[in-house]
Amino acid sequence: MYATVIVDIANGAVDRGFCYRVPEGLTVALGQHVLVPFGQGSHVKEGFVIELSESSNLPKGVLPKDILSCLEPYPVLLPEQLSLANWMKEAYHCLLVDALRLMIPAQLRGGRIHEKRERIVALSEEAPAFSSKSAIQKDVVALLQKTGQPMAVKDIKAFIPGAAPAVAALLKKGILSEDRFTVYRKPSYGKVTDLKPELTEEQAKVLRDFTQLPGGETALLYGVTGSGKTEVYLRCIEACLNEGKGAIVLVPEIALTPQTVGRFSARFGDKIAVLHSRLTAGERFDEWRRIRLGKAPIVIGARSAIFAPVEHLGLVIIDEEHEQSYQSESTPRYHAMDVARRRIRQQNGRLLLGSATPSLLSYYRAINGSYRLLELQHRVENRPLPSVLIADMREEFLSGNNGIFSSTLLSRLKSTLDNGHQAMLFLNRRGYSTFVSCRACGYVLCCDNCDISMTYHKAQNAVRCHYCGAKKPLPRECPNCHKPFIKQFGVGTEQVEEQINACFPEVKTLRMDADTVTKKEAYEQILSAFSRGEAQILIGTQMIAKGHDFPNVTLVGVIAADTTLNFPDYRSAERTFQLLTQVSGRAGRDKMPGQVILQTYLPEHPVLKFAQRQDYPSFFQYEIAQRKKSLYPPFSLFIRLLLTGKDEEELQLRGKAYAMELEQALYAALTEEGKDDLLLLLAAPAPIARIQGQSRYQILVKLLRTKRLPAALHAVYDFETAHRDDGYLKIETNPQDMF
């Protein structure tokens, strides 16, 4: 018997299978984690068995080396995971080993984590003959008689301090017998009471439609906030379990709170396993093993849980499917949704994407028929959607209010607090201070070539376009209304809190942003303090947009609803709509109706109007038309090649040479017929031209999405391979941002 083994070394030169002999007496299966001698010096390396065969594929006369041993008694990789890794290698142009590493706990490699075994003792057949002068020995025997079953030694020690020598003595006398068994270290799942409600008609229809979907297919569940999507997920999982299959549920990392997990655990108990970044290494390993060994057929986790070793995978659910966190930002740069689609096709399972604000791409696919569109249009028990008011900050300014808060927001805050309710104030700080606009007319300074807002650079007191590099000084007056009120914005959560404390001195506030949440527990602490009512107002960045449910929150204020709208990115409208809908959904989750106030300098902007009505379908129609007009995704694909290096001049020269070479390669791949598919190839210093002493240069490629796209992508990947060892290059397809 021969095995093809890939060694666990991330290096393109050895990223392939090597032939080994399976020695007599060793049982080796596909996916087994093994030790092998490798290379000239036959150093012992870890590897994975990726193929088994009857014959050696080495040239005649070359004898294969022997596999030394297996590291675990079971294969750590399922056959379908091996094939998934091979697919990833092609699709994301990554090393096979890098893909395989995603599928096992990191500490398994290098033997850094082990099973935890616990000693248990039981009364033996000799026990009735027991007599002793030792009081503590008598206590131990009495305890075991009372419980009537074997006990862990550590539990006995908890009942009877200092019992260890007595247990040892009893074992020696043969009064006790000893055993060892594996224990699973388990994270706490959070507790909620589960009432399993009767489904609404809408929910029942969605469940029916989804469970009747043919295998291998994907459905998009578009459901307004509070429409009961999670209950639908729970029922889909139940149906999947009844078919004897397993399920993976992905939620954004930040939403993986005890509250979320608690809902699943209350329904499915021990059948669930949880994978997220706050687990200890031991917990992660044990949760992974419970999945691998079939004890937990339901996995709930963040992005990388899509690689969990669930056998007979019947269902994948991706909640908040529009979230950016499903895109990995490190190699392999996979998107969890693409991996999920691959897995369910392979296993004939089904994929359910859910959101109140679907990504443009998913909704586009749904109305074009490649996904099945399912809808929940109403909140459960006909609770009303929150009513949304737009506060026009231009008017406020012209009538003499130059503070952060509109008079509308202040008066609503007051009545909310008077009623004993809570409020949330939301400020999207990221990129907040960077755009330039006129406080009198709302005009936003845009690039002449790009139709994208320009970014303020404090050091030069100038504005720049992050897409084409155009630059101009900060104007003294508004080019539109000629008043002198044009300036960059600069308000942070701290300032909001200060002013709230000034307006409402007796009111307790909590603040949550990157400064106050330096540790992961702090996030939980702040949210639970707020939910216990220890403060009346929670002020925060997008971190407060999801996660907990706060039944007592009836008012949500968005300090500057248009900030993300002016973000220099073609996705800014989509992200703004998503954010505003999400934040609005925080208000009035329980029986009391909610109120939302959006403060803005652009009250008639269509995106704000759609957000006010919480009308996703109309927003979609508007935005997809914009994308089509400018040939932005989903009609095209952006690829960014980022070069970094110490020497700026050398980098520029190299960047220009790369751009020329890449352009030729792309034209060759697209052929004469497709030469217009290359919409843009732009080589310029990156928007942030220098980070930590490194110069940055980028080549931005925009390709029309046609049948020739795969060929073009291959050309880009071949280009990357050819230059892999130059030490300059990083390639991102569909980059999340382009700084």
* Residues engaged in binding Zn ion (CB under 5 A): 447, 449-450, 465, 467-468, 470
Work out how close the CB of 382 gets to ligand ADP at its nearest, in angstroms, rounded to a whole number: 11
Phi and psi (nearest 5°) for 540?
Answer: -165, 175
DSSP designation for 708: T
Pairing of strands 2-7, 436-438: unpaired
Strands (E) located in 692-737: 694-704, 729-733
Strands (E) located in 309-368: 313-319, 350-355
The angle that helices 229-242 and 201-211 make with each other, rounded to 10 degrees, is 40
Q: Which does 223 bind (CB under 5 to 8 A by kind): ligand ADP, Zn ion, none?
A: ligand ADP
Q: Which CB sits closer to ligand ADP, 263 or 429?
A: 263
Q: Which does 491 bind (CB under 5 to 8 A by kind): Zn ion, ligand ADP, none?
A: none
Q: Which CB sits closer to ligand ADP, 225 or 564?
A: 225
Note the residues at the interface with ligand ADP (CB under 6 A).
197-200, 203, 223, 225-231, 380-381
> In 3-state terms, what secondary structure has residue 654?
helix
Q: Which CB sits closer to ligand ADP, 165 or 551?
A: 551
Pairing of strands 151-152, 116-123: antiparallel
> In 3-state terms, what secondary structure has residue 561?
coil
Work out how close the CB of 645 gets to ligand ADP at its nearest, in angstroms, rounded to a whole number: 47
Q: Which CB sits closer to ligand ADP, 230 or 401?
A: 230
Q: Which CB sits closer to ligand ADP, 223 or 314?
A: 223
Q: Which does 231 bind (CB under 5 to 8 A by kind): Zn ion, ligand ADP, none?
A: ligand ADP
> For residue 550, what are the contacts with CB-CB under 8 A and spacing of at least 6?
422, 424, 530, 531, 586, 589
Work out how close the CB of 375 gets to ligand ADP at its nearest, in angstroms, rounded to a whole number: 12
Q: Which CB sits closer to Zn ion, 127 or 468?
A: 468
Work out how close the CB of 578 gets to Zn ion at its nearest, in angstroms, rounded to a whole number: 25
Q: Which CB sits closer to ligand ADP, 227 or 493?
A: 227
Work out how close the CB of 590 gets to ligand ADP at its nearest, in angstroms, rounded to a whole number: 8
Q: Which does 199 bind (CB under 5 to 8 A by kind): ligand ADP, Zn ion, none?
A: ligand ADP
Q: Which CB sits closer to ligand ADP, 255 or 427?
A: 255
Q: Which CB sits closer to ligand ADP, 203 or 644?
A: 203
Handedness of CA 62, 68, 74, 76 (dihedral sign): negative
Q: Which does 465 bind (CB under 5 to 8 A by kind): ligand ADP, Zn ion, none?
A: Zn ion
Reading the block at residue 108, the tokens are 């398994």
Reading the block at residue 462, the tokens are 């100038």
Compute the C-alpha angle 678/619/432, nearest 5°. 80
The secondary structure element, H or E, covering residue 264 is helix 258-268
Q: Which does 230 bind (CB under 5 to 8 A by kind): Zn ion, ligand ADP, none?
A: ligand ADP
Work out how close the CB of 265 gets to ligand ADP at its nearest, in angstroms, rounded to a whole number: 15
Work out how close the CB of 354 gets to ligand ADP at its nearest, in angstroms, rounded to a whole number: 8
Q: Which CB sits closer to Zn ion, 70 or 447?
A: 447
H-helix segments, 585-728: 606-613, 616-630, 648-670, 709-722
Work out how close the CB of 320 gets to ligand ADP at its nearest, in angstroms, rounded to a whole number: 9
Residues 391, 556 contacting (CB under 8 angstroms): no
Residues 422, 554 contacting (CB under 8 angstroms): yes
Per-residue 3-state assignment (H helix, E strand, C coil) for 536-554: CEEEECHHHHCCCCCCCEE
Q: How far is CA 416 from CA 202, 295, 500, in A?
A: 33, 48, 14
Work out how close the CB of 185 gets to ligand ADP at its nearest, in angstroms, rounded to a whole number: 30
Output helix, strand, coil percentages for the chain, rounded to the nearest 5. Answer: 40, 25, 40
Residues 589, 652 contacting (CB under 8 angstroms): no
Reading the block at residue 511, the tokens are 């603040």
Work out how close the CB of 273 gets to ligand ADP at its nearest, in angstroms, rounded to a whole number: 21
Work out how close the CB of 200 gets to ligand ADP at its nearest, in angstroms, rounded to a whole number: 5
Q: Which does 709 bind (CB under 5 to 8 A by kind): Zn ion, ligand ADP, none?
A: none
Q: Which does 258 bind (CB under 5 to 8 A by kind): Zn ion, ligand ADP, none?
A: none
Residues 10, 97 contacting (CB under 8 angstroms): yes
Q: Which does 227 bind (CB under 5 to 8 A by kind): ligand ADP, Zn ion, none?
A: ligand ADP
Q: Which CB sits closer to ligand ADP, 347 or 582?
A: 582
Q: Which does 226 bind (CB under 5 to 8 A by kind): ligand ADP, Zn ion, none?
A: ligand ADP
Q: Which does 467 bind (CB under 5 to 8 A by kind): ligand ADP, Zn ion, none?
A: Zn ion
Residues 223 and 375: their CA atoms lie apart, in Å, by: 6
